[in-house]
Amino acid sequence: MELDATDRRILSALQKEGRLTNADLSERVNLSPSACHRRVARLEEEGFIGAYVALLDARRMGRPTTVFVEITLSGQADEVLEAFETEVRRVPDVLECHLMAGTADYLLKVVAQDTDDFARIHRQYLARLPGVAQMHSSFALRTVFKTTAIPV
């Protein structure tokens, strides 16, 4: 399926405000409510819209510390990668895990209350992940900007 300009306007509006009613959305993108509803349903069915979520404020939730953790594994065999990926999904404080090209095998985004809490997360979870040979952690001092919006 190819996206046309109207699809892109719909996606852009929903990325900024996912709780728009169909009536408000149809008004913003200049479509009838029924045509807008059909397009949104098609975008959902085709996988362009994966989910609707509430984005929580990490600070307000008591998790103001963001730590990026580079992990190098002891090997690259499929079973080593799969074992690591299975277990890292179970760490509640890990928001993202990316398989990387470059010096590290994986890059994790972790949220914590503070440095003591990250030490707990490291001890309780990260240090116990299978196949880990090296780990380097970098603490974010300040978030300059952050978005979840994909360019459309």
Do residue 80 and residue 121 come from a single domain? yes
Q: Which domain range does residue 127 map to?
A: 65-139
Residue 55 has pLDDT above 90, yes or no: yes
CATH number at residue 10: 1.10.10.10
Count of Cβ atoms closer than 10 Å to residue 101 Cβ: 6
Tell me the mean pLDDT in the region 37-66. 97
Do residue 75 and residue 106 come from a single domain? yes
Say what the pLDDT of residue 144 is. 96
Do residue 27 and residue 72 come from a single domain? no
The CA distance from 112 to 120, in Å, is 9
CATH number at residue 99: 3.30.70.920
Do residue 40 and residue 79 come from a single domain? no
Does 50 fall in a domain? no
Residue 49 has pLDDT above 90, yes or no: yes
Does 52 fall in a domain? no
Say what the pLDDT of residue 86 is. 98
What are the pLDDT digits (tens) for 73-102?
Answer: 999 999 999 999 999 999 999 999 999 999
Does 76 fall in a domain? yes
How many structural domains comprise the chain? Answer: 2
Q: What is the DSSP string of 96-131?
A: EEEE-SSS-SEEEEEEESSHHHHHHHHHHTGGGSTT
- Token pair, residue 129, equals 């992940």
What are the pLDDT digits (tens) for 8-40?
Answer: 999 999 999 999 999 999 999 999 999 999 999
- Token pair, residue 4, equals 């046309």
The CA distance from 135 to 149, in Å, is 30
Say what the pLDDT of residue 1 is. 84
66 close to 109: Cβ distance less than 8 angstroms: yes
Do residue 71 and residue 135 come from a single domain? yes
* Phi and psi torsions of 72, nearest 5°: -110, 130
Cα–Cα distances (Å) from 106 to 34, 68, 73, 98, 112, in that order, read 44, 10, 8, 5, 19
Does 148 fall in a domain? no
What are the pLDDT digits (tens) for 101-130?
Answer: 999 999 999 999 999 999 999 999 999 999
